[in-house]
Structure 1
Amino acid sequence: MNQQSPFSIQPMDGLGVIPALQEDIDFEDTLGHTYRNRSEADFIGTSITETRWKWAGITMAVLFALLLGQAAQLQIWHGNSFYAQAEGNRIRDEVIPADRGRILDRSGTVLVNNIPAFSLWIKRDVLDDSDKYLAAIDQMALLLNEDVHELHDQLLSSDGLSDELLVTHNMPTAAALEVLASPEAYEYLRVEAGVRRYDVDVQSQTLSALLGYTGSMNEDEYAEYRQSGYQKNELIGKIGIEESYEQVLRGFPGTRRVEVDAVGHPQSILEKRDAVDGATLTLHIDAGLQAMIEAHLAQLENEQGIRNASVVVMDPRDGGIRALVSYPGFDSNLFMDKIDQDQYRALLEDPARPLFSRALSGQFPSGSTFKPIVAAAALDAGVITEHTTVLSTGGIRIGQFFFPDWKAGGHGIVDVRKAIADSVNTFFYMIGGGYLDFEGLGLDRMMTSAAAFGLGQPLGIDVPHEASGFLPSAAWKNEVKQEPWYIGDTYHVSIGQGDILVTPLQVAAFTTVFANGGTLFEPQVVDRYESQGKIQDIAPRIINSETASPEAIAIVREGLRQTVTQGSGRRLNGLPIPVAGKTGTAQWHSTKENHAWFTGFAPYDDPELVVTILIEEGGEGSAVAVPLAYDIFDWWFYKE
């Protein structure tokens, strides 16, 4: 018996039992025999048919084509757009505001300056998330100590396309530092350091209407200023010099492109263009003179109950404004951000109307200050000569109407010089409207001469909201009042009463004509401005150099001088310098006190200062306006 190999494969039955030992059967023989004896050949490969392969290929090709097309659309057609969006998420363009120009008086005293301030911003997308919005607005109310509802209304009214909305330009410093110290606690807010406007001389509140203030733009203003590149959140000049010289004071904002991180924090500056600060304006105004006049008016209010007044001081040599006082004034710093509603209501409801620039916008009967113009017109028209005399017996009568002199019994025989000095109504009734056989100027010639002296039209001062005054005509009265023009109307106009209206500025301007010999200058507040080291002088502008003949001007000047030496302005004769002028008393109401006028110039031989004063409801000009004129002339010429 052969020895059994331990590696031999033994056949088994169906139960896995080896029935008998078989020798010399190996693995290959067993398997090979089994498969060699199969009747059919087995198929080795896949069960997917050719048709299925075809459709699968088509499907794969279509999908690939779609992906390729989408990639082409994203990369080629919309590539620039998506690139810009991606860059926008990484890069932020910021505006660098320019510092607004300062405003100085004629001696260099700073009147308006910039002081450090913080502005508060909120992310625009916060408004679309109620939870974030409520959290942010509660934070802002606490930081700013403001009412939640008012802040809500403010944010809802904000517009523009920027990613942030401006809440305030004047955030309390302590609150700003709190946000800057803990930005993670105020993730929806941003604080920016900057400057805000500040009127330095807050003690002289009558400067406020002249200088103006800055404020946020309304819709109409933004529609206008956006054409010049303004942003919606910029502040603009609202009244006064701030408004009229907006483009000069604003400067040119700069820009910077900043790279930011995922939460918007700046990482680096990629590009920068520096801002160009606004120009510094130097005014003709003398702040010391303005303050002195205001103090004297405050004293008049305390002592005599005077509530409203206007004072205009000009240089007759070029039209420069030395003082422009509308009394009472207001503190313009209240308007530099958002004025408290109670404070604003108090200003609006104040019977003295402190917000009204009465020296520019107030329109009043001129009273006797108009008489020098009538005299010059009559001299030039040949209605009178310097030797023409009139007998004043207390007035003239036309039918049942009597037109009185202010002095009972009249002034006796007067010529044009004495008529000006004593303000003789009868003389001006006659040369203005005529009487009996004496032919006067008539309304049309008087109004033509008045217009030549700048009445009935704005003079063009470089401060906005100047009124034009009013010169009546027969056609106007017929159309508006539906009445004919009577001789009595002409008489009233010839003495500065009736329907004629003037502004204090216009009276000062026509007084400069008599002071300088016949030239009407455009009043100017700004003398020059300086930007980037260059000084730009503003040249005097002449409105009319042919207001009246030199001969007529000279005769009227002599009458104005006699007002001080012999007439109603004799108090001014006590000054060491020679002064000329005219007083006036203007009736304007049947039950209220008359307005008091004075207008004059000094020195008489070589004038350098014109002073015009209107004390509303002040009574006689000689009683209340002349003493103030004395103090102004005395301060100006002897202040040192």
Structure 2
Amino acid sequence: MLKKIIRTLKKRLNISRQAGRKYDDIDPEDIFIDATNLPGFDEYRFEGRIERPMGQGVFLIMKIALVLVILGLVSKLWVLGIIQGSIYAQISENNSLEQTLLFANRGVIYDREMRELATNAIKEDGSNFADRLYSPSQGLAHVVGYIKYPLSDRAGIYYEENYHGRDGVERAYDALLNGINGTKLREIDVSGKVISEAVLKKPVDGNPLVLSLDSRLTEVLYESMESLAEDRGFVGGAAVIMDTRTGEIIALSSYPSYDPNVLTNGTDRNAISEMINSPSKPFLNRAIGGLYTPGSILKPVVALAALNENLISPSKQILSTGSITVENPYDPEKPSVFKDWKAHGWTDMRKALAVSSDTYFYSIGGGLGDQKGLGITVLERYFKLFAMTEKTGIDLLGEVEGVVPNPEWKKEKFDGEIWRLGDTYITSIGQYGTLVTPINAARSTALIANRGQLLKPSLIKGGSNDPVLRVVDFKPEDWSVIHEGMRDAVTYGTSVGLNVPYVKVAAKTGTAEVGSFKLYVHSWSVGFFPFESPKYAWAVVMEKGPSANTLGATSVVRRLFDWMAVNSPEYFE
């Protein structure tokens, strides 16, 4: 029976007879396993058992399960990407990295003694940039100016990323004062909460600016002009003090003025509207943009012109009887009469400057009797030589050119009328169509004080590297005559109100009639100090006050000098 089984196995396994013979001596128990496992096998771990392949049903179930998983994922993607895509896109935007500006602080503006004129407030919570704060000192607004803040839309996105200067040195030196903004990266979650932030680029603050201005002197000048205007009915005023060596502007003020804090904040609409519509024009910088008839402050220039042209000796005397009469070639019975403001008697050049004799300057300007005059062409040339009408180039917005009348000007303004001798007379005393700015008056006075150097005005401490624009070369003795005449004006003449014990000054007044009926005047004072070695020149004008008024620009200068004697005596040294 056993042999029969073996043969059957060989046949199924295709074992050759030879192979069979080779293994005839193998015991069948070495090949077949008994019904029970051999000792040492664990049947619960499938040891000693024959493995069987999985059936087709198992694979079918797995395929179905895999298809269902894929269909579930695709459907979820459809819901997230198509149906709810906009919702999750918005969430994604909110939960994102946001780049924001770090605003640089604007540079601080100081006066010459390092007093802050414009600075930055400490940033408050919720504020992206620092507020600009201006000194409460009066009279500084037209020089310092104001700014416009960075602007953003309703979403908080800035379309104007920098401060912008709107007036004064804030505008002129905008690029210097503006810093370089930085950037910050913020991580924000879905609820808008800032999770983290990091500075990508640090902001660089703007550069400081040190002005030549002394804010205390400027404020005293402003308050003096304000007080006189309110007491005596002047419309406005302007004042300039210039260093006669460097061209530095020590004080520059215009009355009335505006509040730079109100304009910068821009929230008080009523106050801003009131300033804009005010008839007193507080935005007009009268020191550089106001044109005024100069009156007698031009007489030193006329005197120098006559000396340089060798028309008169400074010691020659001309009689002032209170007026001069000129024949009318068209109607001899109606001669032209040109009045002096009073009869001065016999006056030489020094006295004529001291008492401001109109008759003397009629004579050397237009000619009278045996005295030859300069004539309008020469007068115009000297006015321009002394830069009475040209722009100074100061770094402020709104400077205007002056006017010197001439035959062409009259022909244009008065419907073709010809120039007459009387026009030259009136121009010789600074009337008629002559117009100058206070800063030009101060600069021409500085030119007289320093004996011929025309300076470039500067608002920066230290002035320009090369402040001398040109030199007016006259004889030293001619300059001395003018200095002495202006000093005499202080000791006994029209500027006697400035004859103070603490400093010697030289000065010249001017009273320019305004309007057809001559009911109003512009009151001027120009001069320099100390007399022996001039360092500073000034020009002050009070605008359109009653002609009967006895107080004018000289009182403004006197009040300033009294204050300086106590608080800043170093200017007199």
Shorter-chain TM-score category? 0.7 to 0.9
- Cα distance per residue 1:360-379 (max 9 Å; x no partner): 11000001001111111111
In 1, Cα distance between the equivalents of 2:198 and 2:325? 87
1:194 aligns with 2:129: yes
Alpha-carbon spacing, 1:442–1:106, altered in 2? closer, same or farther (3 Å)? same
Equivalent residue for 2:146, pick from 205, 213, 222: 213
1:95 aligns with 2:28: no
1:405 aligns with 2:340: yes
1:116 aligns with 2:122: yes
Equivalent residue for 2:455, pick from 497, 521, 527: 521
Q: Secondary structure at the match of 1:313?
A: strand
- Show the counterpart of 1:442: 375
Equivalent residue for 1:594, pick from 521, 524, 538: 521
- Show the counterpart of 1:611: 538
Equivalent residue for 1:363, pick from 291, 312, 327: 291
Any gaps of 5 or more consecutive residues in structure 1? 1-85, 119-176, 178-190, 219-229, 529-536
The code of the aligned residue for 2:337 comes to F
- Cα distance per residue 1:547-582 (max 9 Å; x no partner): 644332222111111111121112222333211100
Equivalent residues in 2 for 1:301-340 (5 A)? 301-340=229-268
In 1, Cα distance between the equivalents of 2:105 and 2:206? 6
Aligned residues of 1:284 and 1:320 also touching (Cα < 8 A): yes
In 2, Cα distance between the equivalents of 1:516 and 1:302? 35
Q: CA deviation at 1:97?
A: 2.0
Aligned residues of 1:452 and 1:547 also touching (Cα < 8 A): no
The code of the aligned residue for 2:386 comes to F
Equivalent residues in 2 for 1:107-186 (5 A)? 107-117=113-123
Q: CA deviation at 1:262?
A: 5.4
Equivalent residue for 1:430, pick from 336, 348, 363: 363
Q: Secondary structure at the match of 2:324?
A: strand
Q: Which piece of structure 1 moves more, 106-115 or 270-279?
A: 270-279
In 1, Cα distance between the equivalents of 2:278 and 2:197? 52
In 1, Cα distance between the equivalents of 2:500 and 2:138? 31
The code of the aligned residue for 2:338 comes to F
Aligned residues of 2:94 and 2:188 also touching (Cα < 8 A): no
In 2, Cα distance between the equivalents of 1:260 and 1:273? 19
Aligned residues of 2:311 and 2:372 also touching (Cα < 8 A): yes
Alpha-carbon spacing, 1:574–1:338, altered in 2? closer, same or farther (3 Å)? closer
Q: CA deviation at 1:617?
A: 2.7
Aligned residues of 2:290 and 2:438 also touching (Cα < 8 A): yes
1:550 aligns with 2:556: no
The code of the aligned residue for 2:496 comes to R
- Cα distance per residue 1:391-419 (max 9 Å; x no partner): 22222222221111110xx2222221111
The code of the aligned residue for 1:274 comes to K
- Show the counterpart of 1:148: none
Aligned residues of 1:583 and 1:622 also touching (Cα < 8 A): no
Aligned residues of 2:94 and 2:191 also touching (Cα < 8 A): no
- Show the counterpart of 1:106: 112
In 2, Cα distance between the equivalents of 1:280 and 1:233? 20
The code of the aligned residue for 1:520 comes to L
The code of the aligned residue for 1:313 comes to I
Q: Give TM-score, length-normalised by structure 2.
A: 0.75
Q: Which piece of structure 1 moves more, 569-578 or 253-262?
A: 253-262
Q: CA deviation at 1:621?
A: 9.2
- Show the counterpart of 2:55: none
Alpha-carbon spacing, 1:490–1:621, altered in 2? closer, same or farther (3 Å)? farther
Q: Secondary structure at the match of 1:275?
A: coil
- Show the counterpart of 1:457: 390
The code of the aligned residue for 2:401 comes to S
Q: Secondary structure at the match of 2:514?
A: coil
- Show the counterpart of 1:493: 427
In 2, Cα distance between the equivalents of 1:577 and 1:248? 39
1:390 aligns with 2:396: no
Equivalent residue for 1:241, pick from 153, 165, 169: 169
Equivalent residue for 2:211, pick from 258, 263, 283: 283
Q: CA deviation at 1:460?
A: 1.0
Q: CA deviation at 1:235?
A: 2.5
- Show the counterpart of 2:200: 272
1:576 aligns with 2:509: no
Aligned residues of 2:103 and 2:128 also touching (Cα < 8 A): no
Who wins on radius of gyration, i.e. which is larger? Answer: 2
Q: Give TM-score, length-normalised by structure 1.
A: 0.67
Aligned residues of 2:502 and 2:565 also touching (Cα < 8 A): no
Q: CA deviation at 1:526?
A: 1.9
Q: CA deviation at 1:426?
A: 1.3
Q: Which piece of structure 1 moves more, 335-344 or 374-383?
A: 335-344
The code of the aligned residue for 2:427 comes to V
Q: CA deviation at 1:197?
A: 0.8
Q: CA deviation at 1:293?
A: 2.1
Q: Secondary structure at the match of 1:631?
A: helix
Q: CA deviation at 1:480?
A: 3.4
Q: Secondary structure at the match of 1:615?
A: strand
Aligned residues of 2:246 and 2:464 also touching (Cα < 8 A): no
In 1, Cα distance between the equivalents of 2:354 and 2:422? 24
- Show the counterpart of 1:416: 349
The code of the aligned residue for 2:336 comes to F
In 1, Cα distance between the equivalents of 2:535 and 2:480? 17
Alpha-carbon spacing, 1:632–1:621, altered in 2? closer, same or farther (3 Å)? farther
1:378 aligns with 2:306: yes
How many residue pairs are counted as aligned between the two chains? 461
Aligned residues of 1:575 and 1:630 also touching (Cα < 8 A): no
Q: CA deviation at 1:427?
A: 1.3
Q: CA RMSD for the aligned pairs?
A: 2.6
Alpha-carbon spacing, 1:517–1:114, altered in 2? closer, same or farther (3 Å)? same
Alpha-carbon spacing, 1:271–1:264, altered in 2? closer, same or farther (3 Å)? same
1:471 aligns with 2:398: no
Alpha-carbon spacing, 1:370–1:489, altered in 2? closer, same or farther (3 Å)? same
The code of the aligned residue for 2:364 comes to I
Q: Secondary structure at the match of 2:378?
A: helix
- Show the counterpart of 2:445: 511
Aligned residues of 1:595 and 1:620 also touching (Cα < 8 A): no
The code of the aligned residue for 1:311 comes to A
Q: CA deviation at 1:296?
A: 2.4
In 2, Cα distance between the equivalents of 1:217 and 1:605? 52
Q: Secondary structure at the match of 1:432?
A: helix
- Cα distance per residue 1:34-91 (max 9 Å; x no partner): xxxxxxxxxxxxxxxxxxxxxxxxxxxxxxxxxxxxxxxxxxxxxxxxxxxx999954
In 2, Cα distance between the equivalents of 1:520 and 1:266? 62
Aligned residues of 2:94 and 2:189 also touching (Cα < 8 A): no
- Cα distance per residue 1:273-325 (max 9 Å; x no partner): 22221111111111111222223233324433334111212221212112112
Alpha-carbon spacing, 1:274–1:306, altered in 2? closer, same or farther (3 Å)? same
Q: Secondary structure at the match of 2:307?
A: helix
- Cα distance per residue 1:504-540 (max 9 Å; x no partner): 1111111111212221211112216xxxxxxxx7535
